[in-house]
Amino acid sequence: MQPNGAAPLNCLWRWVLPECWGPLGILFEQISPYWFAYVGVALAIGLSVLGAAWGIFITGSSLVGASIQAPRITSKNLVSVIFCEAVAIYGIIAAIVMATRIGYASVAESDPVTKFGGYALFAAGLVVGLSNLFCGLSVGVTGSSCALADAQDATIFVKLLIVEIFASALGLFGVIVGIIISSKATLGGDASAGR
Amino acid sequence: MDMLTFNADNGYLEAVVRGLKASLLRRQDYTNLAQCESPEDMRTILNSSDYGLWLQNEPAPLQTQALYDCLMNRLVYDFRSIRGQSYAPLSTFLDYVTYPYMIDNLVLLLMGVLRNRDLSELLDKCHPLGLFEGIATLTAIHSPEELYREILVDTPLAPYFAECVNVHDLTEMNVEIIRNLLYKAYLTDFYQLCVERIGGMTGSIMATLIAFEADRRVINITLNSLETSLRKDERMMLFPRVPGGLDDEIIQRLGRADDLQAVAMALDLSSTYRALFQRAAERGEYSLEDQFLEFEMKLLRESFDAQFHYGVFYAYFRMLEQEIRNLTWIAECITQKQFAHASRVVPIL
């Protein structure tokens, strides 16, 4: 760390060394914990909805096409669409839990509990959002194949549904971890009282 | 990545085509159809399939030609409705699927012009998928040069024509050579479209199918040119070559082959075609062409095992065409009371 706070040039390739992290630390200190917390909430709901919407259009377009020749598959295969929709619901649940941890900014932003809370909610948002995004894609692709396969062979649906259930469970893992992380976070309100 | 983005534009149509493929006639249906006493009995069986709707307005003694027209109308209807709903690059891909028919139509018209036949008569014989805008104006044409110019202006095949056909080559002798040169240019171009411009899953599936198509043409050209005056270097020039097709060694040998024996020796080097060739020799009533078709149907069926690619569109229309060939063959056999031959069809599913 050089006196003027700038990183030495060789930090460009030694960026993994702790003494090079100074500028990053300053950067993060300048950003409000509330910013991190609310961006975390936005990531949780936004990425989840992206995953769900993506999954629904992958499944839905195949389902609509396949049901022309085999109309019987529509009601059964709505389950695939519902699985995709559930991913968005996971995102909403996580986002609501996270949002309830944030109160009005009654304490200084440099308060350690508040800073911890900001980073915790940011991480929780990423955990929930990314796991739901990939879960939604996975359910969408399997749901699309499931609709096409069901249209060809009516006996195969239940077996394929198991595959979709496993794909759908992936998102739940993220939600569980996200809720555990966010349960430790407290911002604002009477945070400094040690609640 | 095909998996994530394919369905945005093509998911609906892919599912539609898969549904249509599931309603193609099966082995059992062909066995039943082959036992019919008259084309009218065929109608009873076909009524329970997708063709029921198309056949219901035909007058009672069903003629083979009427049956063929109905089947063809259905093919054209399916194709047009799918082509109409498609986005690029699928629409381009589907246009390429029609080019072989267009090549055949143009060669037919060319023959007509060279023999001074009336073109309006020939237009009825053209394959409906191979029609293009402005084909109706071709009836006014009387010389090969005019036809050549019209083709260059009006059809999407113009690049192939400009590349491999000279206006002075338009003689009756050359017509078959022109057809093969056009096919060669078309297959190369189609391969490039699928593998380089579309790529991904479509590329890998279509590469197999196009390579087979090219191999089949190579072998057929060799067999058809054995007893003719075609020079060996000219024959080599006609062979369509795409990556993944027959080895160079086999191609060279086929190019030099003088008789059936030499062709069989050359194909001995390829496990796939050796088996087809042997089976054609063993089972007298199924010709080599039938073996090729049977093998092609297997490849087409396999292309349905993968999802998120354009190969299914190509495969479905190929299968439907084979179904039309099968049904007209059965109808023809029944009309001519050759009941024993009626079961000699290439099943699709």
Angle at B114 between CA B112 and CA B119, to 5 degrees: 30
- For residue B323, is pLDDT > 50? yes
Q: Which residue ranges make up each domain of chain A? A: 1-30, 32-193
CB-CB under 8 Å, B16 with A68: yes
CB-CB under 8 Å, A141 with B4: yes
CA–CA separation, B87 vs A61, rounded Å?
14
Q: What is the mean pLDDT of residues B129-139?
A: 79
- For residue B87, is pLDDT > 70? yes
**Average model confidence (pLDDT) across chain B:** 88
Q: Is B7 on the interface with A (CB under 8 A)?
A: yes
Here the ipTM equals 0.85
Q: Give A24-34 pLDDT, tens digit per residue.
A: 778 888 889 99
Query: In this predicted structure, what is the pLDDT of residue A65?
Result: 94
Q: Print burial letters for B156-180: b (CB count within 10 Å at least 16), e (below 16).
A: ebeebbeebbeeeebeeebbbbbbb
Among B317, B323, B303, which Cα is nearest to B129's?
A: B317
Substitution target from B3, B23, B312 for chain A, most A beta carbons within 10 A: B3
Q: What is the mean pLDDT of residues A77-106?
A: 92
Query: In this predicted structure, what is the pLDDT of residue A195?
Result: 43
Measured between CA atoms, the residue of chain B closest to residue A134 is B4
**Cβ-count burial of B308 within 10 angstroms (0-12 exposed, 13-18 middle, 19+ buried)?**
buried
CB-CB under 8 Å, B11 with A58: yes
CB-CB under 8 Å, B13 with A57: no
CB-CB under 8 Å, A137 with B15: no
Query: In this predicted structure, what is the pLDDT of residue A11?
Result: 64
Measured between CA atoms, the residue of chain A closest to residue B306 is A145
At the fourth CATH level, the homologous superfamily of domain A32-193 is: lithium bound rotor ring of v- atpase (1.20.120.610)
Query: In this predicted structure, what is the pLDDT of residue A12?
Result: 65
Top-confidence residue, A195 or B67: B67
Q: Which residues of B touch A69 (CB under 8 A)?
A: 16, 19-20, 22-23
- What HEC string does B153-176 produce? HHCCCHHHHHHHCCHHHCCHHHHH
Query: In this predicted structure, what is the pLDDT of residue B342?
Result: 84
CB-CB under 8 Å, B22 with A152: yes
Q: What is the mean pLDDT of residues A169-194?
A: 83
Residues 6+ apart with CB under 8 A from A41: A95, A98, A99, A102, A121, A125
Q: What is the mean pLDDT of residues A165-169?
A: 94
Tokens 């049956």 identify what position? B67
Query: In this predicted structure, what is the pLDDT of residue A5?
Result: 56
- For residue B140, is pLDDT > 50? yes
Q: Give B111-124 pLDDT, tens digit per residue.
A: 888 888 877 888 88
Query: In this predicted structure, what is the pLDDT of residue A191?
Result: 44
Q: Which residues of B touch A62 (CB under 8 A)?
A: 7, 11-12, 14-15
Query: In this predicted structure, what is the pLDDT of residue B141?
Result: 78
Q: What is the mean pLDDT of residues B260-275?
A: 88
Residue B306 pLDDT class (50, 70, 90 cuts): very high
For residue B22, give the nearest of A58, A69, A145 by CB distance. Answer: A69
Among B226, B200, B195, B231, which Cα is nearest to B210's?
A: B195
Q: What is the mean pLDDT of residues A68-94?
A: 94
- For residue A7, is pLDDT > 70? no
CA–CA separation, A146 vs A160, rounded Å?
6
- For residue B171, is pLDDT > 80? no
Q: Is B1 on the interface with A (CB under 8 A)?
A: no
Q: What is the mean pLDDT of residues A43-66?
A: 96
- Give bridge partners of residue A187 from the DSSP assignment: A102
Measured between CA atoms, the residue of chain B closest to residue A71 is B19
What proportion of chain B, given as a percentage, has pLDDT over 70?
99
- Helical axes A73-100 vs A157-183, angle rounded to 10°: 0
Q: Give B16-66 pLDDT, tens digit per residue.
A: 999 999 989 999 989 988 888 888 888 888 888 888 888 888 887 888 888
- For residue A4, is pLDDT > 70? no
Scanning B225-310, the segments in alpha helix (DSSP H) are 232-238, 248-256, 260-267, 271-282, 288-303
Q: Give B58-81 pLDDT, tens digit per residue.
A: 887 888 888 899 999 999 999 999
Query: In this predicted structure, what is the pLDDT of residue A1?
Result: 44
Substitution target from A148, A153, A160, A163 for chain B, most B beta carbons within 10 A: A148
- Give bridge partners of residue A102 from the DSSP assignment: A187
Residue B262: how many CA atoms within 13 Å on its side-chain side?
12
Q: Is B20 on the interface with A (CB under 8 A)?
A: yes
Query: In this predicted structure, what is the pLDDT of residue A190?
Result: 58
Residue B146 pLDDT class (50, 70, 90 cuts): confident
Asked if residue B231 lies in contact with residue B221, where contact means CB atoms within 8 angstroms, the answer is no
CB count in 10 Å sphere of residue B93: 23
Query: In this predicted structure, what is the pLDDT of residue A8?
Result: 57
Query: In this predicted structure, what is the pLDDT of residue B118?
Result: 79
Contacts of range B284-290, beta carbons closer than 8 Å, 24 or more positions apart: B285/B344, B286/B344, B288/B219, B288/B223, B290/B344, B290/B346
Q: At the topology level of CATH, where does B1-85+311-349 sit?
A: Topoisomerase I; Chain A, domain 4 (1.10.132)
CB-CB under 8 Å, B7 with A65: no
- For residue B82, is pLDDT > 50? yes
Q: Which residues of A touch B11 (CB under 8 A)?
A: 57-58, 60-62, 65, 144
CA–CA separation, B149 vs B139, rounded Å?
14
CA–CA separation, B201 vs B2, rounded Å?
7
